[in-house]
Amino acid sequence: MKLKDNIVDLYWRVRKWYAGLDWRAIGHNIIDFIGRVMHKVLFEWLMPKKYRGIKKQEIYEIIFKSDTPAGKKFDVWLLILIVANIVVIIIDSLFGSTSTITSGARLSISFWIIKILEWGFTILFTFEYYLRIYCLKRPLKYVFSFWGIIDFLSIFPAYLSLFIPATQALTVLRLLRVMRIFRIFKLDRFQREAYHLLAALRNSAIKILIFMLFVLVAAVILGTMMFSFEGRVNSSFDSVLSGIYWAVVTITTVGYGDVVPVTAAGRFLSVIVMLLGYSIIAVPTGIVAGETIHQYQQPQKPGTKPHVKEDDEEEAIKN
């Protein structure tokens, strides 16, 4: 009994200590420490001496301004590195698994070369992400912008893979950064078309969400009905969840064929659900198509180009 009381007392002491910690201050100190370490490594060890005194404004011009010679050169090399990194990830999936280490010294050397290249790219992109934050007066605005989130997701899975190895494949998210090519090379037509498409999807989102809610309700009802028809004579329908799974697979016209009805009532219901599936596919397509047409039919003043919303990165880097 005394041991139990001691354990309970220790639990409450630990809980009181845990609740009393200032987690915001702790997080700020951790981020500040990481920033100091990265700054020292980058500006005192890795960067050539002639660039160690570079000012924030100069870094800003190189990294964020693609209309300058240095900025365009930086962006082009960044795209080349991103594509090269994706190629390395693909090669790693083919030849870099741990099973190849035991198949011979040659493959073992290839495995470690690929891993070194992957982490080399990760470190380069990490320092590039740090420089993007370092040269801004309001870094948080960039961090939580669209491109800031993409840049973070491009490096985070690599570090997460140290604890969860399966997340290493998520580094393919770096390929999303290739979309910068539209901004870097000032491809206005592609930007305008992308804006029209995104606007159509945004305007369609609520309608599609409501429609999918009705589809989900229909799947539950149809799946329950199928279970009531098949449950006693068909082992594939061992629960209502199996019936819902069948309904979703059939409505979406995927048709795996792993769960099929055998009774006459079940097959009749299947015919109804199959026919219903075609209309379910057509409705979201029609909603998006209608919104897309509406975007192009909006009246514009003569002699003006379609308005292209300034992207999140451009808004975030304004100092």
Q: What is the DSSP string of 17-31?
A: HHHTS-HHHHHHHHH
Residues 311/146, Cβ–Cβ less than 8 Å: yes
182 pLDDT band, cuts 50/70/90, is low
pLDDT band of residue 188 (cuts 50, 70, 90) is low
What is the CATH classification number for the domain harbouring 89? 1.20.120
Q: Is the pLDDT of residue 285 over 60?
A: yes
What was the pLDDT predicted at 250? 92
302 within a domain of the structure (yes/no) = yes
Q: Which domain holds residue 87?
A: 64-186
Residues 76 and 33 both lie in one domain:
no
Q: Are 315 and 187 in contact (CB under 8 A)?
A: no
Number of structural domains the chain divides into: 3
The CATH number for 311's domain is 1.10.287.70
The pLDDT value recorded for residue 310 is 45
Tell which of 186, 209, 225 closes a domain.
Answer: 186
Three-class SS state of 227: helix
Residues 279 and 236 in one domain: yes
Q: Are residues 139 and 231 in the same domain?
A: no
Contact 169, 161 (CB under 8 A): no
In a domain, 234, yes or no: yes
DSSP class of 66: T
**Stretch 106-112: mean pLDDT, rounded?**
71
Q: Do 77 and 1 fall within a single domain?
A: no
Last residue of a domain, one of 53, 79, 97: 53
211 and 311 housed in the same domain: yes
Identity at 98, one-letter amino acid code: T
Do 181 and 207 sit in the same domain of this protein?
Answer: no
Give domain status of residue 58, yes or no: no
Residues 172 and 195 both lie in one domain: no
33 belongs to a structural domain:
yes
> Is 59 inside a domain boundary?
no
Is residue 2 scored above 60 in pLDDT? yes
Please compute the mean of the pLDDT values over residues 107-126 and round it to a whole number: 86
Q: Does pLDDT of 316 surpass 70? A: no
Q: Do 243 and 293 share a structural domain?
A: yes
Would 8 be classed as within a structural domain? Answer: yes
- Do 94 and 5 share a domain, yes or no? no
Confirm if 211 and 287 have CB atoms less than 8 A apart: yes
Residue 236 belongs to some domain of the structure: yes
Shared domain for 208 and 164, answered yes or no, is: no
Reference 213, options 290, 280, 282, 287; nearest CA is: 280
The sign of the torsion formed by the CA atoms of 109, 115, 117, 120 equals: negative
200 and 230 inside one domain: yes
CA angle 188, 189, 193 (to 5 degrees): 115
The answer to whether residues 196 and 287 belong to one domain is yes
Q: Is residue 48 part of a domain?
A: yes
Residues whose CB falls within 8 Å of the CB of residue 98, separated by 6 or more in sequence, listed in order: 111
Q: Which of 33, 53, 73 is the last residue of a domain?
A: 53
pLDDT in tens, 119-157: 999 999 999 999 999 999 888 889 988 888 889 988 998
